[in-house]
Structures are given as C-alpha cells and as structure tokens.
Chain A
Amino acid sequence: MATRTVVYTTSNTSSGYVMPYDMDVTQPWQLVALGGGGSGASGGSNAGGGGSGAAAFTNSTANTVSITAGLTKIYVSIGAGNSAGAGGATWASIGTNSSPGTGSTGTRGVLAAGGGAGTTTPGAGGTTANSGGSVLQAGASGGSGPTTHNGGGGGGSPIVNLSGTTLAGGTGGSGYTVDNDGCGGGGGGASLTTAGSNGGTGTATTGGAGGNGGGGSGGGSGATSSTGAVAGTTGTGGGGGGGFGTSNVSSASGANGNYFTDSFSGQQVGAGGGSGGGSGTSSVTGNGGYGAGSGGTLGTAGTGGNGFVVLVYTVATNTETQKTVVFTTTGASSYTIPSDFDTTKAFQLIALGGGGGGYNRGGGGGSGAVAYANKGSVTATITPGSTVLYMSIGTGGNASASSPTAGGATWASIGTNSSPGTGSTGTRGVLAAGGGAATSTTGGAGGTTANSGGFILQAGSAGGARGSTTNGGGGAGAPMINPYGTGYAGGTGGAGYSVSSQGAGGGGGAASLTIPGSIGGAGAATTGGAGGAGGDFTAGGSGGTSGSPNGNNVSTGGGGGGGAFGTTGIGGSSGYIPSFTDSSSSTQVGASGGAGGTQATSGAGSSVYGGGGGYGGQGFVVLVYYSTGTGPVTNTTNFFFMFR
C-alpha cells in the first residue's frame, strides 16, 4: 500500500492543519518532530557553539486520539532556530491545540525541545526531559571555545526514524587551545540509519572539519591561513568547517539533510549539520541546517536551524476519478450537484475573495481571504443531481485616485441560498472575505479570517504603503488553500520609496498549492520595486525605470507586477498560478499576484484572481469531488475512463 509523507515547516496553531483526507486511519502511521537549533555565543570570549534540538517520535500504536481523515486537526508549532539564544521547541498535537507537554508519552503527539544557546560554555542539546513522545532523542551539544578567539562549532541534529530508532547528531568540535588558531567544526546531522559524526577540533594549522552527515559524507573542511571554511554538502546534513586564525576568520554553514520528501510538494527535510566556530571579532559564523546549532564566535554568530514535523501515513485505496468544477462568474449563481457526485468519498469546496483596489499614488490594495470546507466538515445533506450549490463570487475592487473600492466577498453554500456567515465552520459551505481598499497613504488590509467562514481559513495580505506623494505601494498577492486543507499566504505589497517621483512598490507574489508568495519589492531611488515571486517560483515583474516608467507585467505564474517609476508610470499587472483545472471546460484558476504600485493619477495595473490592485482580482469557487462514473461523459478523459 502506498504511503504519503507530509512535511510541515511552518506553524499553524490557529485553525490547524487537517489530517489528510486520503489517510487510511486503520493502517500504521508515524509522526516525527525536530526542535530548533540554538545559537552559538556571539561577541564574547570563549564562545561555545549552540546545541541542536531534540527529536521526538510517536505512532499509531502509542496514539490514543481517534482520527477521522479530513476532519481531525493536527496543530503544529515549529521551533525557530535562533541567532541570539536558545532554539524554539517544536510540537505537533492531534486534536488538541496545545503542546503535548514534557513527559508526555506520545498519546496525542510529540514535543521536541530546542537546542540551548552557547555562552562561555557550549550550548546543551535539547533534552529528553523537556520533550515528549513515545521515543525521544536528545540533541547534541555545541563545541567549546577554549580561548579568547577560537569559537566552538554548533551541534548537529538527531532524528528518530520511522521504526522508532534513535539516531544522535554529532557534537560540535572545540576550538584549538592556542589562541588565534583553528576553531571547531560543526557536528553532522543524523541520517535515518546512522548517527552524525562529531565536528572536528581546530588545530594549529586549520579549523576543524564539519562532521559528516549520517550518510557518511558531506562535512565541510575547515579554514586555513590561505583558504576559507567550506560549508556542508547540500542534502547530506554535513557540518560546516570552522574558521581559522586572523586570516579566514569566518566559518561555514551546516547543510540540511534530505531524508524526508513531501509527497505533494517535493520539499525535503532532514537532520542538519551545525556550523563551524569563528575566530576573532570580525568573524561571522554560518547557519545551522535543520535543527542544528550555529557556531560560537567573538564576532557575530549565525542562526541555528529551524525545526520541522513529518507525518507518514498509508493512503486509502480509491479507484474512482476525481473531478474539478471551477466557477468564475461574479455575482450570484447556482449549480446543481452533479449526479455522479460520490457522497461517500472525500470532496473539497474552496472560495477566494476579491482583491481590494489600489489608490493611485497611494497604497496598494489588500488581497482576498481564502476559505475551505470538505466532507469532514460539511453536515448539509447532499443528494446528487438534486441539491443546489448556491454561490456569490466577489468582484475585484476598483483603482482610483480618490476612492478605490474593496474587493467583494465570495461564498458558496450547499442547499441554502445564503452566505454561511462569518464565524461559520464549514458545515454547509465557505465564505472568503474580500481584500480592503487602500487609502491615500496606507495599503489596504487583507481579507480577514474574522470576516470569513469555513473549516480552514487563510487571511489575505496587506497592500504596500505609499512612500511619499507620488510613490504608490504595490498590491498584495492572493493566498491559497490546497485540497488537503493547508493554507499559504500571499506576499504583502512593497512600499513606495520615501523620496517623491521615484520608485513605487512591487506587487506581492501569489501563493501556490504548496508555497507562499513572496513580498513585493520596495521602490528605490532609481527603479520601481520588483514584484514578489509567486509560489510557483516564477519571478515578479521588474519595476519601471526613468527610461521606461511603467512597471512590467507578468502574464503567467504568480509574481506580482512591478512598481512604476517617476510621476506618470503605471504599475504592472499580474498573472495567476493555474492551480485548479475544470474537468469539463479546462478553465484554470488560482491565486494571482498583486499589481504594482502606480505613479499616474489615472490608469493602474490589475490582478486576475484575488490579488490587490490597482484593479483587484475577482474571486472564484472550486469544487473537487470523486465521480461514481455513472454521470454523463463530459470529456475525453471520462470517455476513456468509462470504456477501456
């Protein structure tokens, strides 16, 4: 039976994540967490390296919480690596929005302590005493800094594999005992089968080498009097090399491991390597990989690595065809649930609000919110071929030099011709608030979760603020929620430049089904801000210049439009990310980036779906369901499905 891996690298303790709709809850599953890495000591003598976070594990055997696929929530808090103290703790909890607690035994989740900060002594690894789960592994300590200048390396990260086997990270290497010589290397991160190696100790001629990751390679070499320190090899969890003497004082970063791969997004995580220690007041130490500590230094310490959570489960067997229906007509409409709608299988309903309008030479519009409901949350009766899905799709706000308008809310309701309402929980549908209009000086607010309703909600983002008189802010990129119920934010709009008649801000990037959008670039003295990249990794439009004052458009992908330049330029328009495709018409929809900020008093860029303007993008509704195969043959795909 097929398994699926879900990687969580951002927190959600508000609406939580949903246990996957395609999870077979009768089969074994595993949950693993890694705490954030601590920082090495910074700006002081005898600088110790930071410790790595602890690892925690639980599984379906230890768990006592009843799980319903697509309904039960899993709340996740990802511990951040630190540049000035201890790493944050990471926890994941099934069904209850709080940490399972220290000493817990994995009955509802896991808690992995963050690594300690280095001081004049090495930072301790995150302890099992401060963690919780059915299996625990402590983090590794940083290395010591025995002299004024020679810092210790950061600890490498541990892990617990899917069988519940503990694997330690390598400890950070210590600095050499004669001052102004070699610093310690970072410890290596564990693989899923082998512990990480310890970071090397600095010597009279070289910084300590980074410890190898559990795969047996990847540790970076230490600096010498003639060569700089080398970072751990990407994907191995190798530690970074330590700095040396007075010539190559800075250390290198530890690498992330790549031992878990998200089956949907392809994102990879794994125990990371620590960074090396630095030598002298001008050194900058590298950053730790996932969960690992950064090296200590008399200069400026890098940042420990962030933690993560991984869920692995068995996918429920399903041989039916999944269909998608896309709705884009603004205003009120209705749709009869098709006769081939399988009420026994998972379905999802997603709505995006319209984006707010921008103020010419003022703020950028906010993006609409997005709302989600599914079979787990809906209690309304559905009779295929009879029950009506009512909806109202919000329009995008208008751009104006005096009175831009807000984006309209979008809602969809099963069986009842009215909005489900704010605060509703997805029992009969969804409501996604529109993005706010900008003012002459400030960006419009994103559509809020408070003004929305559904099982899962993701707020819109704010437009950029005006910098000075003519320099408008960019519109915000639209957010999105994927069919698994995971939401991603759009990028905020970039602000205009502070001196008049120069650069306006770029639009924010749109979220994809797996990645948030990036923030729009701020306007500058010589150019408008670039649009933020979309969650599909496409670049935003470039900003206008004195020779070409209009911001540049993007017609595909989610990047926001570029900001204009000067006094007459118009902000660029944004395309959208084609995240959903209608099974019959092939119409595609997805979040759009925000428009770039504009300089002209008339004319503005636009967004397609949900992003802030200029002219804000309209909303849409998407219904995804499994077909019983008894409905009408509506396209070629269905034809072959029916008759082969």
Chain B
Amino acid sequence: MLRVAIVDDVTNIVDNIVVANSLDDCGQPGTFAIDVTDGPPCAPGWVYDPATGLFTDPSA
C-alpha cells in the first residue's frame, strides 16, 4: 500500500495525502501524484518543490 501526495499541477500545493494501491490509481484531473510512502514529510497545504523533491510547510 502506498502513501501518495496529490499535488496541484499549477500551484504545486499538496491537495491531499491519500492511501493507494499504486500511483496509477491517483488520476484526479489537474493534479499529479508523488509516492511519499517512505518520506519526505508532507501534509495538505504544503508546497512541493520539483527541483528538490521536498515539501515545505508555508505556515512554519
């Protein structure tokens, strides 16, 4: 079972963190999916950086 970050493909803001059988099961329009089963840490509302593959908490 995977833990997957659903990320808005325009803003790179994490829309949700979901449980999925595979990345292929996460096909919501306007988003892309990243496997975060083994990290890095993230949560809904955090911002994804494609250059580093890391997420930052804008409220921190």
Interface residues of A (CB under 8 A from B): 9-15, 36, 77-80, 82-89, 97-98, 114, 117, 306-307, 449, 458-459, 461, 487-489, 516
Alpha-carbon separation in the docked complex, A622 to B34 (Å):
34
Residues of A within 8 Å of B45, CB to CB, are 86
Instruction: Judge whether B41 and A12 touch: CB under 8 Å.
Output: no
Kindly list chain A residues whose C-beta atoms are within 8 Å of the C-beta of B26: 11, 13-14, 77
Which A residues touch B57, using CB under 8 A? 85
Please measure, in the bound complex, the distance between the C-alpha atom of A85 and the C-alpha atom of B3, giving whole angstroms: 14
**CB-based contact B17/A487 at 8 Å:** no
Question: Which of A78, A86, A459, A489 touches B18 (beta carbons < 8 Å)?
Answer: A78
Q: Are B18 and A77 in contact (CB under 8 A)?
A: yes
A406 CB, nearest partner CB in chain B, Å: 19
Do B19 and A80 have beta carbons less than 8 Å apart?
Answer: yes
Partner of A10, one of B20, B28, B43, B46: B20
In residues 18-32 of chain B, which contact A (Cβ within 8 Å)?
18-22, 24-29
Q: How far is the CA of A306 from the CA of B18 in the complex (A)?
A: 8
Q: What are 10 of the A-B contact pairs (CB < 8 Å)?
A: A11-B20, A11-B25, A14-B24, A14-B25, A77-B26, A79-B18, A82-B17, A83-B41, A85-B57, A97-B28
Chain B nearest Cβ from A42, distance in angstroms: 9
Chain B: which residue is nearest A306 at the CB level?
B19
Q: Does A77 lie within 8 Å of B17, measured CB to CB?
A: no
B20, B21, B26, B28: residue with the most chain A Cβ atoms closer than 10 Å = B21
B residues near A488, Cβ cutoff 8 Å: 21
Whether a CB of chain A sits under 8 angstroms from the CB of B10 is no
Q: Which residue of B lies closest to A9 (CB)?
A: B19
Q: With the chains together, A450 CA to B4 CA distance in Å? A: 21
Q: Across the interface, do A78 and B20 meet the contact criterion of CB distance under 8 Å?
A: yes
Q: How far is the CB of B55 from chain A (nearest CB, A)?
A: 9
| Contact call A85/B24, Cβ cutoff below 8 A | no
The answer to whether A114 touches B21, judged by C-beta atoms less than 8 angstroms apart, is no
Q: B28 touching A88 by the CB < 8 A rule?
A: no
Given known A-B contacts A306-B19, A459-B22, A11 and B29 have beta carbons under 8 A apart: no
Q: In the bound complex, how far is the Cα of B55 from the Cα of A276, in angstroms? A: 27
- The residue among A85, A306, A488 with the most chain B CB atoms within 10 A of its own CB is A85
What 6 additional pairs, Cβ within 8 angstroms, besides A77-B26, A85-B57, A89-B44?
A36-B17, A78-B18, A78-B20, A80-B3, A487-B21, A488-B21
Shortest Cβ-Cβ A-B pairs, 9 listed: A85-B43, A14-B27, A84-B41, A88-B17, A11-B20, A80-B17, A78-B19, A10-B21, A11-B18
In the assembled complex, the Cα of A89 lies from the Cα of B18 at a distance in Å of: 8
Chain B interface (Cβ < 8 Å from any Cβ of A): 1, 3-4, 6, 16-22, 24-29, 41-46, 57
| Assembled-state Cα–Cα distance A97/B31 (Å) | 12
- Contact in complex: A10, B42 (CB < 8 Å): no
Pick from B1, B18, B27, B41: contact of A88, CB under 8 Å: B18
Q: How far is the CA of A89 from the CA of B1 in the complex (A)?
A: 17
Which listed residue, B20, B21, B25, B46, touches A85 by the CB 8 Å rule? Answer: B46
Q: Assess whether A13 is in contact with B27, with CB atoms less than 8 Å apart.
A: yes
- B29 in contact with A98 (CB, 8 Å): yes
- A88/B16 in contact, CB under 8 A: yes
- CB neighbours (8 Å) of B24 from chain A are 14, 449, 458-459
Chain B residues in 8 Å Cβ range of A458 = 24
Partner of B16, one of A10, A77, A489: A77
Q: Which residues of B contact A80 (CB under 8 A)?
A: 3-4, 17-19
B1 partner, pick from A10, A449, A459, beta carbons under 8 A: A10
Residues of A close to B16: CB separation below 8 A: 77, 79, 88-89, 114
B4 contact from A9, A11, A84, A489, Cβ within 8 A: A11
B17 touches A13 (CB 8 A): no
B42 touches A84 (CB 8 A): yes
Task: Determine how close the nearest CB of chain B comes to the CB of A618; give it in whole angstroms.
Answer: 23
Report A-chain residues with C-beta under 8 Å of the C-beta of B29. Answer: 97-98
Q: With A and B bound together, what is the CA distance between A14 and B31 in angstroms?
A: 12
A393 to chain B, nearest CB (A): 23
Q: Assess the B28–A13 pair: CB atoms within 8 A.
A: yes
Give B16's nearest chain A residue, CB to CB: A88
How far is it, in angstroms, between the C-alpha of A87 and the C-alpha of B43 when the chains are bound?
Answer: 7
Which A residues lie within 8 Å of B4 (CB)?
A: 11, 80
Q: Which residues of B contact A83 (CB under 8 A)?
A: 41
Task: Tell whether A516 pairs with B21 under 8 Å between CB atoms, given A11-B26, A14-B26.
Answer: yes
The answer for the CA separation of A516 and B16 in the assembled complex, in Å, is 23
Return the chain B residue nearest A303 by Cβ.
B3
Q: Which residue of A lies closest to B25 (CB)?
A: A12
Q: With A82-B43, A114-B44, A459-B22 known to touch, is A87 a contact of B28 (CB < 8 Å)? A: no
Contacts of B44 in A (CB 8 A): 85-86, 88-89, 114
Minimum Cβ distance to chain B for residue A305 (Å): 10
With a cutoff of 8 Å between Cβ atoms, the chain B residues found around residue A77 in the complex are 6, 16, 18, 26, 28
Q: A85 touching B42 by the CB < 8 A rule?
A: yes
Report the minimum CB–CB distance from A423 to chain B (whole Å).
14
User: Does the CB pair B19–A10 fall under 8 Å?
Assistant: yes
Rounded to whole angstroms, the CA-CA distance of A86 and B14 in the bound complex is 11
A460 to chain B, nearest CB (A): 10
* Cβ of A638 to closest chain B Cβ, rounded Å: 37
Contacts of A114 in B (CB 8 A): 16-17, 44
Contacts of A487 in B (CB 8 A): 21
Docked CA distance A153–B17 (Å): 22
Give the complex CA separation of A12 and B22 in angstroms: 9
Task: Give Cα distance in the complex from A306 to B29, angstroms.
Answer: 23
Residues of A close to B43: CB separation below 8 A? 82, 84-86, 117
Cβ of B25: which chain A residues have Cβ within 8 Å of it?
A: 10-14
Q: Which residues of chain A come closer than 8 Å to B17, judged between CB atoms?
A: 36, 79-80, 82, 85, 87-88, 114
Q: How far is the CA of A36 from the CA of B19 in the complex (A)?
A: 10
Give Cα A387 to B17, complex, Å: 47
CA distance in complex: A307, B18 (Å): 9
- Distance in angstroms from A10 CB to nearest chain B CB is 5
Q: Which residues of B contact A89 (CB under 8 A)?
A: 16, 44
Shortest A441–chain B CB gap in Å is 21
CA distance A79 to B42 in the complex (A): 13
B1 touches A516 (CB 8 A): yes
**B37 CB to nearest chain A CB (Å):** 10
Q: Roughly how many angstroms separate A97 CA and B29 CA in the complex, as a whole number? A: 8
Q: Complex Cα distance A584/B10, Å?
A: 55
Question: What's the nearest-Cβ distance from chain B to residue A534, in Å?
Answer: 15
Q: What are the residues of chain A within 8 A of B46 when measuring CB–CB?
A: 85
